[in-house]
Amino acid sequence: MGTHAADRDPEGLAVSARVARAELVREIEASGAFAADPGWREAFATVPRHLFVPYYYASAGGGDGTGGLGGVGGYERRWGESPDPRTRERWMRGAYEDVPLATRLRDGVLLSSSSQPSLMALMLAELRVEDGDTVLEIGAGTGYNAALLSYRLGAENVTTVDLDPEITESARRHLAAAGYRPTVVTGDGARGVPERAPFDRIIATCTVTAVPRAWLAQCVPGALILAPLATGLIALTVRDAGHAEGHFLHTAAYFVPLRGSDRAEPEPVALAGVPRRARESERFRFLLALTRGTLDPQEACALWERQGMPGRERYGITVGAEHAWAWLDEPEGPYAWPLPG
């Protein structure tokens, strides 16, 4: 068995970790990510991210700014158990940079990552948790997010699920190494974890194309669901097992797609004929992603410009007993588009 990185220079690495973690927390705080709930600052200052990324793939040319990473080509593997102390130091510094870290690749496809910490902090703050809340996390990843939730709410109140048994097994190991033991389940996140329900909060760390109705059924009335959808973050308040509604947050969000049955990825949209100002706008691309298959790009562009080039926060989603739809400004307004699910 290999020697753990901390065993090679425990005091030096511990100091490096504390310094790097403190700098990361200052960076997250400066971004405003803690604004909705400053209580998360202590969690990020305490939970050691480096224990959840014993190795990761760093881009030789810098990140792509979206949280997504491509194949192994152009990336270097940083390893905390490297015999070279300089490599271990670079691994430690990189573990506390405010960037997403690719942790699992298969045939050039990103399967799992540790998300950008400032985005994680914003999402956790927007959950608006209260003491005693039970939380279901969809997408276990490295286990770092589950550890942050466990620190704040207690591990007994946290459940995390992932489809890939290799991911859940490594998440369990990382969590145990850091001293946290939430419930880690191997299964299809779209189906939730009914045996652990009901939940006060559901947070997804993978992109969905629709809000699974199983999630609503596993929530208490008044629960909050926060999930990446169409390059944004939808925050839904659950009324009952068949109804939920809410707005998107203002921020962009790019995550690995939720994997499992019955969820095909949408085809790319051709932007020929769309003015350059729209093609280059994140706001317009969000509208296209949200209304994919309902509006063609020219129709979407005309609507977007007519409505003052709205940002994500003007859009929302309603999940009804029989149908789900996205909308601009008002659920029953003139601009609404059907959603799958």
Q: Distance between CA 293 and CA 296 in Å, rounded? A: 7
Residue 72's nearest CA partner among 101, 97, 106 is: 106
pTM of the model: 0.89
Query: What's the CA gap between 48 and 95, in Å, rounded?
Result: 9
pLDDT of residue 260: 62
Dig out the tokens for 111 from the structure: 């399967």
Topology of the domain covering 5-240: Rossmann fold (3.40.50)
Of residues 232, 180, 208, the one with CA closest to residue 43: 180
Distance (Å, rounded) from C-alpha 63 to C-alpha 79?
18
**pLDDT for residue 85:** 86
Which one-letter amino acid corresponds to residue 223?
A: A
Domain limits of the chain?
5-240, 266-339
The predicted-structure confidence for 59-114, as pLDDT tens digits, reads as follows 655 443 333 333 345 567 899 988 888 888 899 999 999 999 989 877 766 777 89
Residue 10 has pLDDT above 80, yes or no: no
Region of poorest pLDDT, from 36-40, 216-220, 319-323: 319-323
- Please identify every residue annotated as catalytic: 112
C-alpha to C-alpha distance for 196 and 94, rounded to whole angstroms:
35
Q: Is the dihedral of CA 62, 52, 123, 22 positive or negative?
A: negative
255-314 confidence digits (pLDDT tens): 888 876 444 455 556 677 789 999 899 999 999 999 987 888 999 999 999 999 999 999
pLDDT in tens, 105-148: 777 667 778 999 999 999 999 999 999 999 999 999 999 999 99
Return the percentage of the chain with pLDDT > 90, whole number.
73
Tell me the per-residue pLDDT of 155-196, one tens digit each, with 9 for 90 and over: 999 999 999 999 999 999 999 999 999 999 999 999 999 999
3-state secondary structure 233-287: EEEEEEEECCEEEEEECCCCCCCCECCCCCCCCCCCCCCCCCCHHHHCCHHHHHH
Position 2 pLDDT exceeds 50:
no
